Structure 1
Amino acid sequence: MVNILYKIRYYLLAVVATACVLLWPGARAATAVDNSLATWFLKDDPALRAYADFRTRFGNDEVVILVVHDPQTLLQPAYFTRFRALTRQLEALPTVQSVTGPGNARVPGRDLTGASARPLLGPGTGAAQVRAALHDRPTLGGQLFSADYRSARFLVELRNLPDFDNRRAEVLAQVQRVVDAHFSPAQAYLGGVGIVYAGLNALSQHDFGLFLGLGYLLMFGVFLGLYRNLRLLLYTLGIVALSTYLTFGIYGALGYRLNLMTVLLPIVIILLGIMDSMHVINERNLLARPGSPALADTLQTLRNVFYPCLSTMLTTVAGFLALLTSPMAILQTFGVFAALGIFFCLLFTYLLGVLLLPHTRPAPRATAAASVWVGQFYQFLLARQRLFTALSLLLIAAFAVGTTRLRTDTYTLGYLPADHRVVRDHQAIEATWGPYMPLELLVRPRPGHTLHDTAVVQAAAAFTDSVQTLTGVGRVFGFQSLYQGGLEAQAKGKARRLLASQGALNAVHRQLLTPEYAPLARQFVHEPSGTGRITISGTMLSARQLTAKMDSVLGMARATLGPVATVQPAGYQPMYSGIVRYVTASQTNSLLWSFLLVFALTWAFIRDFRLAVLTVLPNLFPVLVLLGLMGWLGIPLDTATASIAAIVLSFCTDDSIHFIYAYRQRRRAGLSPAEARLTTLTHIGPTIVLTSVILFFGYSSMLLASLKTVELFGALTALAIIGALYGELVIFPLVLERFDREPGAKPKPVAGGR
């Protein structure tokens, strides 16, 4: 097969070049960012369908919360003028559906007729008039100003555009520019789910691009320092670059765009690309002899490592395809294209191998030095087997206990640095206005009831009173607030009692259907289905905390609204809270299937059940290290870390299969188990050590990132690499020595690594 590949190498190169040209539009399209919900959730996911239904009824729930603060007071004519101008400019934006705030608020008259409604901040309006107008209308006033009139809130409803997720950053930037034109960042604060999401997305793209580039430079710099051979560096770079390009070319051509998971694809490809190339390079360094033909050495090298490289490709591909068991579309897509990139790594390891390696000189210095070091370490290990066995068991126990402390959660705001504007604005809003993140509820009256029935409205008002007793809950506004606000305009302090009057509620309901109030009513009442909306403002929570809070809220809803209506969570927050369940299922399913598939393929490759078990089990150690450290350090398992275990298991198995393949060859050649272990370690060990050094330094550079997701990914991957190195050089040899040995056999002195 290697000979055939050599004969047709130029034809294959032409095919690759043609593919690169044809896939250029796809590669370019793939770099666009798409973090829409469709990339995260499966199309038939009930949560996604429910969210789409909610947006169809009530519009885009991704509201921008703008809070303007003055430590003295906002009840000044200058502020009134700026509020009106700000509102007009925001409403003029083509991407804004509506603005609700002091700048366009209207005060209904006592007779509830549209003609009697007047602007709250009309020309010439003074502070006393505003206070008087809102004094008897606390429902309206509570939505516009804080109790001390030092803070004002504007709700900017964005249009429900079909491509909104892709245009989020652009839309929010337009809103930010308008706000900045009227108020300084020290006075005006923006918040909301979209604001956090856009800030996280922008910073993640910046950090991953920057630190992935730095990681590449550092890894390849260390590679060049170790081998001191530019052509070997070009060989490795070619494998990684072509594999990445073609993977993203196909990815983009199929309509996919970059998201928070697929930005990890280059990391996976560089991991496997470097490991494949270094197995070839180190095999050639050990095989080459002075004066031997470079072409013959190259072809023999490629023959020697073909079967283990093929096996590692298959096991690693199987490991990533195990992500197809995840209930999250984003992880399924990541698994498929990671598998494709790994296939390309093997392809170009061999194609570029027959093209470039015959024109390079062997670089045995680093390989020979590492081989000597590994041999000496193995002798040291043998002399202290009990000590290292005890240490290994202690580490396994410690990390196993750590996994019991592991929890699943995600808190997106926590990924941003403390000095980021999104974080500062969030803290300022909660300090000056109070809890503001919306939790939506959908209310469906039971048969025989409507939203404006006295029983339903009174139950909703009772629910509002109950839910506001929960810690972290601020203002609550919903369909019932429209009726209460209308009654406050008519009856002042008697409004609450009039909630029991069906006639009074019918009058308010008729008024809400008029053109004057219909736009506001449509935000909380969907007439065709007869359903209502209640928005609870709360503190920003992690997904796990939000789930617990929703359980409490729904319990209160059943106790108050239950007899007359059904209540269910709606909007974006339930999907955010459900990520915990999805991540747990993804991690469990993918790891289980990954392990089973890797074991099955390893067994098929080795054809020895006992050796297959001995090969795969030690590879769980770095995974245990990873999950145990996360448990001890309090790092939650979330969307940013859900795939790391599968990645770690994949690249660990790569080295083990090369090890066991070489070990089996030596055993079949008649060497004793001890001799086979020593010669295998000195032969394969250099690759294990050198790749670990390169990858550790590359991923450690991500510790300098400002985004927590990047920092955690780099730190955890670097620590897992240390665990993998310990597993390969200590645990694996000890396991083989214990369970695959001949009584009385002793290793013979071996001079080289062959």
Structure 2
Amino acid sequence: MSQIRKDIEKGFESFAGVLIRYRFIVLILMLALVAGLGSFTRNLVMDTSTEGFLHKTDPALVTYDRFRDQFGRDETVILSLTPPKIFDQAFLEKLKKMHRELEDKVPYVDEVTSLINARNTRGEGDRLIVEDLLEDMPRNKEEMQALEQRVMQNPLYLNRLISKDGKTTNITIKTYARVSEARKDTQSLLEGFDEPETKDKPLENGRSGHTYITGAQNSEVVVAIKNIADRYRGPDLPIRMAGSPSVTHFLSSAVQQDTAFFVRLALIAIGTLLFILFRRITGVVLPLLVVAFSVISTLGLMALSGTSFSVPTMILPSFLLAVGVGASVHILSIFYQALNQGMGKKESIVHALGHSGLAVVITSLTTAAGLASFAMAEIAPVSALGIFASTGVMLSLVYTVVLLPTLLAIIPIKPKHKKAKANHHARMDGILNWISIFSAKRAKAIVLVCLVLTLASVAGFSRLTLSHDPLIWLPENSPVRLDTEFLNQVFDSSVNMEVLIDTGKENGLYDLAVLNTLDRMEKEVEAFKHGRFRVGNTLSLVDILKEINQALNENNPAKYKVPQNPALIPQEFLLFENSGSDDLEDVVDTSFSVARFSILSPWMDTVAQNPALDRLTKHFNEAFDGKAKVTITGMVPLLVRVMNASVMSAAESYILAFMVITFLMILLIGSIRLGVLSMFPNLLPIFITMGIMGWFNIPLDMYTMLIGSIAIGLAVDDTVHFMHNFRRYYFETNNVAESIRLTLFTTGRAMLVTSIVLCAGFFLYMFASMNNLFHFGLLTGTTILLALAADFFLAPALMVLAHKKDKPEASAQAAAQ
């Protein structure tokens, strides 16, 4: 194995010679590659929607898409207005004007609903009249009081269009599910004019038509609504905006702002650290150039593949900047060291690539393996992160071993004075020397302390909790978060759960038993509570039926119920359809076989929603057993699915990352025993971090679940460099302590700097506007620091205990002398 390693190192030296000989050709090819991939970055799109977290073939998303195809988009933007008095002439006129402006000026709008056009079903003689609530404005105090009474007594208005205390009213804005529907609605106004024929492009899911409303189009909608609301908002008229489209838009804005901010911050921080290490302009510019090319190429590949930029993948640019610079640091450290010791520049390049080339390749492979473990994740953006982060690391490897030596060969670089170098590194060498002596002499004590820390961390595991709530990712003072919390308190509703009742036969919903079950379920669901979960309102086919029945029975409130004469049911629905209203389309399909049952509930963590969803699913299945098939979809089930998929994906990625990286370590070291042993310094930091999370009540969410696989892929880099050099020096000296000392002296400084660079890259996320990134950055940075400590103390201690034939104390004393 030792001979194979030497042959590989010779191969890297020969490769360096080829790069030097054809440096200008290589440079042109590398620049062409970067320019080619970089040209695609302008096509990169953003997607922060809930459905964007799932793969297009995910059963939960397929079900949701079918629902949207039948009933349209269930997500709505909600504007909540709290005037001094709702039932006031001046306010109602303002509400009407605002309502019309929203209809006219907001793109992709399907329907705007408020007190202005709320459905008002009434009977007049033998006629059924379905009209807008405020088709005629109240003309006097008596009519205004009658309106107020009618609104406050209508169960369909309460907790949907007006709060139970009558102080706040809502405007809901529903967009089309597909762009084609919005265009079709616009084109219907142009009928009669000659237009060229157009054909819808096939969708990726196999249906014809245009794609669903995109993230960019959703943002257009939210921005247009916000601009209108801002014009009407005032000290006497607070207006709040909520709903999942609003949350999606503000998440997207935060992602774009934070991504640009972190890239700039990472460049400054990494550049500063590189200058402190090398005290050379080339030591700063060349590594940054290598990682910048890696980021540009990776983002170009993302755009080329049609992968969207999302919340998890927003860490990609600054992550690659921090991770990619490590390989350059190791090669440049050896290059400058050889150059300062009197080697020629070409010989120094050859020596540096021969010395560190294999270790750099292995570290890149282990890092990529840790990241690639996410590639099979059930969460689409996490899968994309695994694919493109690992791809970015490998691109960084290519640029490091090809472009970096090429640039070193082209750029004139002079050696530094040895005295200056000695003064610069004297203090660090002293620290590294002390670490080598301490770890050799106190090996058993170090291992014992690590075992105690492991036990304490395992105890913290039992306190870990799960969480998935995109709303709390935003700052506590974020307007959309405050507004959503307001709706939760006042209306008990801001997100939808949709239940589809499929009778499996045409006109199956004329069945009295099915309708009575729907009616009973409405009452039971509205009273349903489970933990923090509660229901604000429900809506289904029977609500319209009860309205019709009341209207046809002299508007008698006592007749607001399902008629028990089966013969009346199809007649009443036919009368409603003939009235000119199309509201039945929102709750039933054209064949009256599938009904929609909407449940409005507060926005909350999916951990609270999950058990409630399970109980509701069971309750619906039991209620309709033998009558209809029940399918539950909508935003709430999608959020729950994302949480469950995150847990499964994290568990699978941890196991896969551990297995692949352990195999690579065994391959590098050439010993199964030492390969497995070398994984302990990489696992301990993850155990400690998870323990810290448990003890400090930091939940496991989509981001903190990433820490394990990312950290093990990064932490193992230093272990690879340590073990690679330790084995080299141990074969030369047959002395454990001396091998540890030489290893830390040659590669310890680079290990320290690369770890500091990585920590800086992750700690930068603590400046994020999004709370989830704060915890991710803090915990991952802490894990990297712990991994460095483990490589400086635990790894040497384990090598001492693994090589018992050598006397560590004697050799440590010899090394100290």
Q: TM-score range by the shorter chain?
A: over 0.9
Distance verdict in 2 for CA 1:27–1:86, change over 3 Å: same
Q: Is the 8 A contact 2:86 2:167 kept in 1?
A: yes
Distance verdict in 2 for CA 1:402–1:141, change over 3 Å: closer
**Residue 106 (structure 1) shift:** 4.1
Counterpart secondary structure, 1:439: strand
Pairs aligned (count) = 750
- The residue that corresponds to 1:176 in the other structure is 226
Distance verdict in 2 for CA 1:123–1:286, change over 3 Å: same
**Residue 36 (structure 1) shift:** 5.3
1:380 and 2:380 matched: no
- The residue that corresponds to 2:54 in the other structure is 41
CA displacement 1:527-554 (0-9 Å, x = unmatched): 2462111111212121221111112222
Q: Distance in 1 between matches of 2:280 and 2:494?
A: 59
- The residue that corresponds to 2:23 in the other structure is 9
Q: Distance in 2 between matches of 1:595 and 1:106?
A: 60
Percent of pairs identical after alignment? Answer: 22
1:20 and 2:84 matched: no
Counterpart secondary structure, 2:166: coil
1:307 and 2:358 matched: yes
Distance verdict in 2 for CA 1:553–1:393, change over 3 Å: same
- Show the 5 A alignment for 1:550-569: 550-569=613-632
1:84 and 2:84 matched: no
Q: Distance in 2 between matches of 1:132 and 1:680?
A: 84
Amino acid at match of 2:759: F
CA displacement 1:372-429 (0-9 Å, x = unmatched): 2111123233444444333211111122222333333211111111111101211222
Q: Distance in 2 between matches of 1:210 and 1:448?
A: 57
- Show the 5 A alignment for 1:364-513: 364=421, 367-445=425-503, 450-471=508-529, 472-491=534-553, 492-513=556-577
Distance verdict in 2 for CA 1:362–1:452, change over 3 Å: farther
**Residue 446 (structure 1) shift:** 6.0
Distance verdict in 2 for CA 1:641–1:748, change over 3 Å: closer
- Show the 5 A alignment for 1:140-179: 140=157, 143-161=160-178, 162-166=211-215, 167-179=217-229
2:784 aligned to which of 706, 721, 731: 721
1:547 and 2:610 matched: yes
Amino acid at match of 1:486: I
CA displacement 1:11-68 (0-9 Å, x = unmatched): 11101222233233312223x3234567532232111110110000100111112221
Distance verdict in 2 for CA 1:384–1:135, change over 3 Å: closer
Q: Is the 8 A contact 1:673 1:741 kept in 2?
A: no
Q: What TM-score comes out, normalization by structure 1 length?
A: 0.93
1:74 and 2:86 matched: yes
- The residue that corresponds to 2:63 in the other structure is 50
**Residue 266 (structure 1) shift:** 1.9
Q: Distance in 1 between matches of 2:28 and 2:484?
A: 55
1:704 and 2:767 matched: yes
- The residue that corresponds to 1:360 in the other structure is 413
CA displacement 1:170-226 (0-9 Å, x = unmatched): 111112222333334852222111111221221122123213422331232122133
- Unpaired runs of 5+ in structure 2? 1-14, 179-210
1:631 and 2:694 matched: yes
Q: More deviation in 558-567 or 545-554?
A: 558-567
Q: Is the 8 A contact 1:456 1:564 kept in 2?
A: yes
Distance verdict in 2 for CA 1:237–1:553, change over 3 Å: same
Q: Is the 8 A contact 2:119 2:131 kept in 1?
A: yes
Distance verdict in 2 for CA 1:142–1:399, change over 3 Å: closer
**Residue 559 (structure 1) shift:** 4.3
Distance verdict in 2 for CA 1:225–1:350, change over 3 Å: same
- Show the 5 A alignment for 1:193-208: 193-208=244-259
1:243 and 2:301 matched: no
Q: Distance in 2 between matches of 1:734 and 1:116?
A: 82
1:734 and 2:797 matched: yes
2:112 aligned to which of 88, 99, 117: 99
- The residue that corresponds to 1:257 in the other structure is 308
- Show the 5 A alignment for 1:474-623: 474-491=536-553, 492-514=556-578, 516-518=580-582, 520-528=583-591, 530-623=593-686
Distance verdict in 2 for CA 1:408–1:145, change over 3 Å: closer
Counterpart secondary structure, 1:642: helix
Q: What TM-score comes out, normalization by structure 2 length?
A: 0.87
Q: Distance in 1 between matches of 2:703 and 2:515?
A: 43
Q: CA RMSD in A?
A: 2.5
- Unpaired runs of 5+ in structure 1? none
**Residue 681 (structure 1) shift:** 2.2
Q: More deviation in 335-344 or 385-394?
A: 385-394
1:682 and 2:753 matched: no
**Residue 583 (structure 1) shift:** 0.8
Q: Distance in 1 between matches of 2:341 and 2:375?
A: 49
Q: Distance in 2 between matches of 1:60 and 1:73?
A: 32
- The residue that corresponds to 2:8 in the other structure is none
**Residue 285 (structure 1) shift:** 4.2
Q: Distance in 2 between matches of 1:264 and 1:752?
A: 44
Q: Is the 8 A contact 2:443 2:797 kept in 1?
A: yes
Q: Distance in 2 between matches of 1:457 and 1:706?
A: 49
**Residue 447 (structure 1) shift:** 5.9
Q: More deviation in 388-397 or 438-447?
A: 438-447
- The residue that corresponds to 2:401 in the other structure is 350
Counterpart secondary structure, 2:252: helix
Distance verdict in 2 for CA 1:318–1:695, change over 3 Å: closer
Q: Distance in 2 between matches of 1:313 and 1:136?
A: 67
